[in-house]
Amino acid sequence: DTGVSQDPRHKITKRGQNVTFRCDPISEHNRLYWYRQTLGQGPEFLTYFQNEAQLEKSRLLSDRFSAERPKGSFSTLEIQRTEQGDSAMYLCASSPGRALGEKLFFGSGTQLSVL
Amino acid sequence: AQTVTQSQPEMSVQEAETVTLSCTYDTSESDYYLFWYKQPPSRQMILVIRQEAYKQQNATENRFSVNFQKAAKSFSLKISDSQLGDAAMYFCAYRRETSGSRLTFGEGTQLTVNP
Protein backbone atom coordinates (compact mmCIF):
# COMPACT_ATOMS: atom_id res chain seq x y z
CA ASP A 1 0.00 0.00 0.00
CA THR A 2 1.85 3.06 -1.26
CA GLY A 3 -1.01 5.48 -0.69
CA VAL A 4 -2.77 7.83 -3.08
CA SER A 5 -0.28 9.72 -5.22
CA GLN A 6 -0.93 13.08 -6.88
CA ASP A 7 1.20 14.87 -9.43
CA PRO A 8 2.30 17.60 -9.57
CA ARG A 9 2.42 18.81 -5.98
CA HIS A 10 2.33 22.44 -7.08
CA LYS A 11 1.32 24.08 -10.35
CA ILE A 12 1.62 27.75 -11.26
CA THR A 13 0.01 28.83 -14.48
CA LYS A 14 -1.13 31.95 -16.27
CA ARG A 15 -4.78 32.74 -16.71
CA GLY A 16 -6.14 31.17 -19.88
CA GLN A 17 -3.76 28.24 -19.93
CA ASN A 18 -4.81 24.60 -19.65
CA VAL A 19 -3.59 22.40 -16.82
CA THR A 20 -3.83 18.68 -16.13
CA PHE A 21 -3.42 16.88 -12.83
CA ARG A 22 -2.88 13.19 -12.28
CA CYS A 23 -4.03 10.93 -9.45
CA ASP A 24 -2.86 7.37 -8.84
CA PRO A 25 -5.16 5.66 -6.35
CA ILE A 26 -4.27 2.79 -4.10
CA SER A 27 -4.00 -0.36 -6.15
CA GLU A 28 -7.31 -2.22 -6.53
CA HIS A 29 -9.39 0.65 -5.16
CA ASN A 30 -12.27 0.90 -7.57
CA ARG A 31 -13.69 4.22 -6.33
CA LEU A 32 -11.92 7.49 -7.01
CA TYR A 33 -12.98 10.99 -5.98
CA TRP A 34 -11.84 14.52 -6.80
CA TYR A 35 -12.34 17.36 -4.33
CA ARG A 36 -11.37 21.03 -4.40
CA GLN A 37 -10.27 22.92 -1.30
CA THR A 38 -9.85 26.68 -1.08
CA LEU A 39 -7.96 28.41 1.70
CA GLY A 40 -9.75 28.22 5.04
CA GLN A 41 -12.52 25.97 3.75
CA GLY A 42 -13.34 22.30 3.80
CA PRO A 43 -12.98 20.22 0.65
CA GLU A 44 -15.83 20.39 -1.86
CA PHE A 45 -16.82 17.41 -3.96
CA LEU A 46 -16.15 17.63 -7.69
CA THR A 47 -16.64 14.19 -9.19
CA TYR A 48 -16.58 10.45 -8.52
CA PHE A 49 -15.62 7.35 -10.50
CA GLN A 50 -16.54 3.75 -10.00
CA ASN A 51 -13.86 1.95 -12.00
CA GLU A 52 -13.78 3.82 -15.33
CA ALA A 53 -17.34 5.13 -15.12
CA GLN A 54 -17.87 8.71 -13.98
CA LEU A 55 -21.01 8.32 -11.87
CA GLU A 56 -21.48 11.71 -10.27
CA LYS A 57 -20.46 15.29 -11.03
CA SER A 58 -20.91 18.38 -8.92
CA ARG A 59 -22.36 21.57 -10.30
CA LEU A 60 -18.98 23.05 -9.36
CA LEU A 61 -17.54 21.13 -12.29
CA SER A 62 -18.10 23.64 -15.08
CA ASP A 63 -17.65 22.76 -18.74
CA ARG A 64 -14.02 23.90 -18.46
CA PHE A 65 -13.34 20.95 -16.18
CA SER A 66 -13.06 17.38 -17.38
CA ALA A 67 -12.01 14.24 -15.55
CA GLU A 68 -11.18 10.82 -16.88
CA ARG A 69 -10.24 7.44 -15.56
CA PRO A 70 -9.67 5.55 -18.79
CA LYS A 71 -8.67 2.13 -17.51
CA GLY A 72 -10.14 2.26 -14.07
CA SER A 73 -6.74 2.94 -12.54
CA PHE A 74 -5.21 6.44 -12.56
CA SER A 75 -7.32 9.53 -13.17
CA THR A 76 -6.68 12.93 -14.72
CA LEU A 77 -8.40 16.23 -14.05
CA GLU A 78 -8.04 18.87 -16.73
CA ILE A 79 -8.96 22.52 -16.41
CA GLN A 80 -9.18 24.47 -19.66
CA ARG A 81 -8.82 28.25 -19.94
CA THR A 82 -7.91 28.61 -16.29
CA GLU A 83 -9.28 31.53 -14.29
CA GLN A 84 -7.97 33.07 -11.08
CA GLY A 85 -10.94 31.59 -9.25
CA ASP A 86 -9.63 28.13 -10.06
CA SER A 87 -6.74 28.66 -7.64
CA ALA A 88 -7.17 26.00 -4.99
CA MET A 89 -5.89 22.68 -3.80
CA TYR A 90 -7.22 19.73 -5.75
CA LEU A 91 -7.49 16.57 -3.68
CA CYS A 92 -7.89 13.03 -4.90
CA ALA A 93 -9.19 10.17 -2.76
CA SER A 94 -9.83 6.50 -3.33
CA SER A 95 -11.64 3.69 -1.56
CA PRO A 96 -11.99 -0.06 -2.03
CA GLY A 97 -15.72 0.15 -2.78
CA ARG A 98 -16.62 -2.85 -0.67
CA ALA A 99 -18.59 -1.31 2.18
CA LEU A 100 -20.94 1.54 2.83
CA GLY A 101 -19.52 4.32 4.98
CA GLU A 102 -16.04 3.11 4.18
CA LYS A 103 -12.86 5.05 4.73
CA LEU A 104 -11.54 7.33 2.01
CA PHE A 105 -7.78 7.52 1.51
CA PHE A 106 -6.64 10.96 0.43
CA GLY A 107 -3.59 12.10 -1.47
CA SER A 108 -1.58 15.18 -0.52
CA GLY A 109 -3.19 17.28 -3.21
CA THR A 110 -2.11 19.49 -6.09
CA GLN A 111 -1.91 23.20 -5.23
CA LEU A 112 -2.91 25.28 -8.26
CA SER A 113 -2.07 28.97 -8.49
CA VAL A 114 -3.47 30.90 -11.44
CA LEU A 115 -1.73 34.24 -12.02
CA ALA B 1 -29.14 19.54 0.73
CA GLN B 2 -26.97 18.41 3.57
CA THR B 3 -24.87 21.01 5.40
CA VAL B 4 -22.17 20.65 8.02
CA THR B 5 -21.27 23.51 10.36
CA GLN B 6 -18.23 23.89 12.57
CA SER B 7 -18.67 27.01 14.66
CA GLN B 8 -15.16 27.11 16.11
CA PRO B 9 -12.61 28.34 13.54
CA GLU B 10 -9.79 27.95 16.08
CA MET B 11 -9.26 26.08 19.32
CA SER B 12 -6.26 25.64 21.58
CA VAL B 13 -5.42 23.16 24.30
CA GLN B 14 -2.55 22.50 26.65
CA GLU B 15 -0.57 19.34 26.11
CA ALA B 16 -2.08 16.42 28.09
CA GLU B 17 -5.40 18.23 28.52
CA THR B 18 -8.76 17.47 26.91
CA VAL B 19 -10.43 19.47 24.16
CA THR B 20 -13.81 19.16 22.44
CA LEU B 21 -14.49 20.26 18.87
CA SER B 22 -18.09 20.97 17.87
CA CYS B 23 -19.98 20.02 14.74
CA THR B 24 -23.62 20.27 13.76
CA TYR B 25 -25.24 19.07 10.57
CA ASP B 26 -28.52 19.28 8.78
CA THR B 27 -30.12 16.39 6.92
CA SER B 28 -33.50 14.86 6.22
CA GLU B 29 -31.99 11.38 5.94
CA SER B 30 -32.30 8.85 8.74
CA ASP B 31 -29.33 6.71 7.79
CA TYR B 32 -25.94 8.27 7.23
CA TYR B 33 -22.32 8.33 8.37
CA LEU B 34 -20.37 11.01 10.18
CA PHE B 35 -16.60 11.42 10.18
CA TRP B 36 -13.85 13.48 11.68
CA TYR B 37 -10.83 14.01 9.44
CA LYS B 38 -7.53 15.56 10.44
CA GLN B 39 -5.44 17.64 8.01
CA PRO B 40 -1.92 18.36 9.24
CA PRO B 41 0.45 20.77 7.44
CA SER B 42 1.33 17.95 5.04
CA ARG B 43 -2.22 18.53 3.68
CA GLN B 44 -3.13 14.85 3.60
CA MET B 45 -6.57 14.20 5.05
CA ILE B 46 -6.48 11.43 7.64
CA LEU B 47 -9.56 9.72 9.04
CA VAL B 48 -9.74 10.10 12.82
CA ILE B 49 -13.05 8.47 13.67
CA ARG B 50 -16.31 7.33 12.06
CA GLN B 51 -19.88 7.03 13.39
CA GLU B 52 -22.81 5.19 11.84
CA ALA B 53 -26.06 7.05 12.49
CA TYR B 54 -27.98 3.85 13.26
CA LYS B 55 -25.63 3.08 16.15
CA GLN B 56 -26.51 4.69 19.46
CA GLN B 57 -23.14 3.89 20.98
CA ASN B 58 -20.58 6.64 20.55
CA ALA B 59 -17.49 5.68 18.58
CA THR B 60 -14.10 5.62 20.28
CA GLU B 61 -10.60 5.32 18.85
CA ASN B 62 -7.91 5.41 21.53
CA ARG B 63 -7.72 9.04 22.74
CA PHE B 64 -10.46 10.17 20.35
CA SER B 65 -14.16 9.83 21.08
CA VAL B 66 -17.35 11.39 19.82
CA ASN B 67 -20.57 12.59 21.39
CA PHE B 68 -23.23 11.80 18.81
CA GLN B 69 -26.64 13.36 19.48
CA LYS B 70 -28.84 12.29 16.57
CA ALA B 71 -31.94 14.22 17.57
CA ALA B 72 -29.92 17.40 18.02
CA LYS B 73 -27.87 16.66 14.87
CA SER B 74 -24.70 17.21 16.81
CA PHE B 75 -21.41 15.34 16.46
CA SER B 76 -18.57 16.60 18.65
CA LEU B 77 -15.03 15.22 18.86
CA LYS B 78 -13.24 14.87 22.18
CA ILE B 79 -9.47 14.53 22.22
CA SER B 80 -8.08 13.32 25.54
CA ASP B 81 -4.47 13.61 26.69
CA SER B 82 -3.72 15.99 23.82
CA GLN B 83 -0.34 15.59 22.15
CA LEU B 84 1.71 18.00 20.08
CA GLY B 85 1.11 15.79 17.06
CA ASP B 86 -2.63 16.41 17.35
CA ALA B 87 -2.15 19.96 16.12
CA ALA B 88 -3.91 20.20 12.77
CA MET B 89 -7.06 21.33 11.00
CA TYR B 90 -9.99 19.10 11.89
CA PHE B 91 -12.94 18.63 9.56
CA CYS B 92 -16.30 17.15 10.36
CA ALA B 93 -17.91 15.36 7.41
CA TYR B 94 -21.24 13.78 6.49
CA ARG B 95 -22.04 11.03 4.04
CA ARG B 96 -25.39 9.60 3.02
CA GLU B 97 -25.94 5.88 3.20
CA THR B 98 -25.64 5.44 -0.52
CA SER B 99 -22.93 3.48 -2.19
CA GLY B 100 -20.30 5.88 -3.48
CA SER B 101 -21.94 8.92 -2.00
CA ARG B 102 -19.92 12.10 -1.64
CA LEU B 103 -18.59 13.53 1.61
CA THR B 104 -19.85 16.95 2.69
CA PHE B 105 -17.29 18.74 4.85
CA GLY B 106 -17.57 21.51 7.40
CA GLU B 107 -15.37 24.60 7.36
CA GLY B 108 -12.82 23.13 9.74
CA THR B 109 -11.39 23.92 13.18
CA GLN B 110 -7.71 24.75 13.54
CA LEU B 111 -6.41 23.06 16.69
CA THR B 112 -3.27 24.34 18.39
CA VAL B 113 -1.61 22.26 21.10
CA ASN B 114 0.52 24.27 23.51
CA PRO B 115 3.47 22.58 25.25
Residues B37-56 have pLDDT tens digits of 999 988 889 999 999 999 88
Q: Which residue has the higher pLDDT, A98 or B30?
A: B30
| Nearest residue of chain B to residue A90 (CA atoms) | B43
A55 SS3 class: strand
- What is the rounded CA–CA span in Å between residue B37 and residue B48? 5
- Cα–Cα distances (Å) from B81 to A76, B14, B60, in that order, read 41, 9, 14
Q: Using the beta-carbon criterion (under 8 Å), do A31 and B108 form an inter-chain contact?
A: no
Residues of chain A positioned with their CB less than 8 A from the CB of B52: 101
In sequence order, what DSSP letters do the residues of B14-38 get, joined into one string? Answer: ETTS-EEE--EEE-S-SSEEEEEEE
Average pLDDT for B3-11: 96
Mean pLDDT per block of 10 residues along chain A (115 residues) reads: 89 97 94 94 93 90 93 94 96 84 88 97
